[in-house]
A and B are shown apart, each in its own frame.
Chain A
């Protein structure tokens, strides 16, 4: 049969990794898992697909239909899936849950931009975690995860959903074009859209300033001088408390970005993203979502974060790689299997090759 080129190709956006690169990914995941287990988290294995309503509000879902005609979608987000899984458990017995997961999520990405549809993540859910100490702990854990991968030049950027919400108000929050302009940090566009939808003049001034509220701790003070509403002040006080806790532990390298709107779907408080020079997209991120369990009739405060394993592998220094050491044993040589077993018994790596 003649080869068809298409016989060997996979759809765009799929992941196919083999050899040293795949091993690197496995090691990165193992390093993260070791840190997260060290903080008292247990593994959770979650479904790979679920009904569409679990992922309501997420763009680019991959759908499938089972044999009974039910519409299902591939896992597009871990936190939404975990909240549903844990809600059942929490209704039975209210308690703190610390869970860590690893696996792939699937979201459609337009072709031509080099984005992957399949993404492998390692992350955690910390449920019944009220108070800034948990936010600060997440930031310290994220930093430890990065160190465990040998990544020392990453920046952690902290924003706050409560602050952005307060500045936007009801009208602003509902306006997709305004959120887009904020997301692109495009002040002229922010002004145009905010005026067109008739936001109050003092809000427009503050909205235009949002893209500039990025930087070190001084940003919080600057924002405090501009914020007039009670919810905005509360959000800033929250960030101050987190900053204080993290600073006391020697983590004085946080960046703040009060104009961050991207993550904002289910986040209700502090939220963060991790970036590394030379990697175009974020390595990971997380934050606080205290209203996520409302839909299950539960009033539960929770935090969590996740890392993208492929991007961590891109950011991690190359010298951390080691080829797997293995002794070759010729399959055709007499006693090949015995020789291989002897190698294994001594704890060495082995590879039976050739022959056949």
Chain B
């Protein structure tokens, strides 16, 4: 039996739909149960319900052989995992956003640009690669306020439709990456459990219409 780390939260609903379509239906309703592990009806998979931000770690450490995780979380954690399948749901973009016309009044233009983000690692790496000095603040939510009220010049965050940005008078300045839910697999488990992992990949690929 393969153990799969599933993120509770916004991704779970879509994940459950895909698992059912792949013939890997959980034996209990993932939203109703208070258990932390639930087997699939077919007995091939055991689901481990964990916080989205923890899912990659369980897989990286080999506690779960595989898992589902948003690309945004994977980018932020920098986990060393195989990522063989784009599941296609929970699509969003990781972007740099800010006010359309930014006045850095009183600023020395060579001083670091101030960035607020729930994704400090992504933000730091992005600006470092571009060669732009940046000071990154980690926020836990409502990142937009950072840019609106002047805590930061820009924010780095995920956007689905862009409504929240628009309502707060912010625009997308640059795109960093396309994000979606990914199937991640532990490196050792990929080889040590190859036939099972293969079969899982094929079933999920079929259910999502992706090529495995």
Contact = CB atoms under 8 A, between A and B. Distances in A.
Nearest to A275: B188
Contacts of A157: 191
Contacts of A186: 82-84, 86
Interface stretch (A193-201, A232-240, A278-286, A343-351): A278-286
Interface residues of B, number: 27
A214 B185 CA distance: 14
A154 B79 CA distance: 23
B62 interface: yes
Interface in B161-205: 185-194
Nearest to A315: B188
A254 to B, nearest CB: 11
A280 B60 contact: yes
Interface residues of chain B: helix, strand, loop or mixed (majority) = mixed
Which of B81, B82, B188 has the most C-beta atoms of chain A within 10 angstroms of its own C-beta? B188
A211 B210 CA distance: 15
Contacts of B78: 110, 113
B188 A185 contact: no
A155 interface: yes
A280 B62 contact: yes
B194 A276 contact: no
Contact of A113 (B57, B83, B191): B57
A188 B57 contact: no
Interface residues of chain A: helix, strand, loop or mixed (majority) = loop
A155 B192 CA distance: 6
Contact of A214 (B63, B77, B191): B191
Contacts of B57: 112-114
A255 interface: yes
Given A155-B191, A157-B191, A279 B62 contact: yes
Contacts of A112: 57, 77
A348 B144 CA distance: 72
A280 B186 contact: yes
Contacts of B186: 280
A255 B192 CA distance: 9
Interface in A176-226: 184-189, 211-212, 214-215
Contacts of B60: 113-114, 280
14 contacts: A110-B78, A112-B77, A113-B78, A157-B191, A184-B81, A186-B82, A186-B83, A187-B84, A188-B86, A255-B194, A275-B187, A275-B192, A276-B188, A280-B62
Interface of B: 57, 60-63, 77-84, 86, 185-194, 210-212
Interface of A: 110, 112-114, 153-155, 157, 184-189, 211-212, 214-215, 255, 257, 273, 275-282
